[in-house]
Amino acid sequence: MRRFAGGLLALLLFASSLAAEPVDEIRALIDRVAASDCRFYRNGTWHEAEAAAEHLARKLRIARWTGRSGTAEDFIEQAGTRSSMSGEVYRVQCPGTPSRVSSEWLMELLRAVRAAPDARG
């Protein structure tokens, strides 16, 4: 039994170390959302960037707590694309540009995060 528990602990530690990189990327992505000059449309209301980032951070905490965290792409698809309550698609509007679906913009931000020298934006 002790050997099984020790093996299980080692497996859990290994799995958590694998998950650290996507969480770092997601946090860097959320930081970029907060630092943007864009507005976000969610459930019938436009929100400033900081409020949108707080909402995404809350969704990340819930995903991690419920064991549903995955890659940054998974996070965008599951948390940054549409409301989990209404199913309504999120939109983003940056200065001087028309609004568009948030998933496209978030994927662009993710590419920028990955291109950053420290890989975390």
Kindly state whether residue 71 falls inside one of the protein's structural domains: yes
pLDDT tens-digit series, residues 87-97: 999 999 999 99
Domain membership flag for residue 120: no
Structural domain harbouring 70: 20-115
Question: Which pLDDT value is given to residue 103?
Answer: 96
Residue 8 pLDDT > 60: no
pLDDT tens digits, 37-70: 999 999 999 999 999 999 999 999 998 888 877 8
**With 90 as the cut, is the pLDDT of residue 19 above it?**
no
Number of domains in the chain: 1
For the question of whether the overall pTM of this predicted structure is more than 0.85, the answer is no
Backbone angles phi, psi at 117, to 5 degrees: -55, -35
Q: Is position 92 within any domain?
A: yes
Q: Distance (Å, rounded) from C-alpha 105 to C-alpha 112?
A: 11
In a domain, 44, yes or no: yes
Domain presence at residue 15: no
Task: Report if residue 7 sits inside a domain.
Answer: no
Segment (H or E) for 75:
helix 72-79
In a domain, residue 38? The reply is yes
Q: Say yes or no to pLDDT of 20 above 70.
A: no
Question: DSSP assignment of 51-72, as one string?
Answer: HHHHHHHHHHHHHHHTT----H
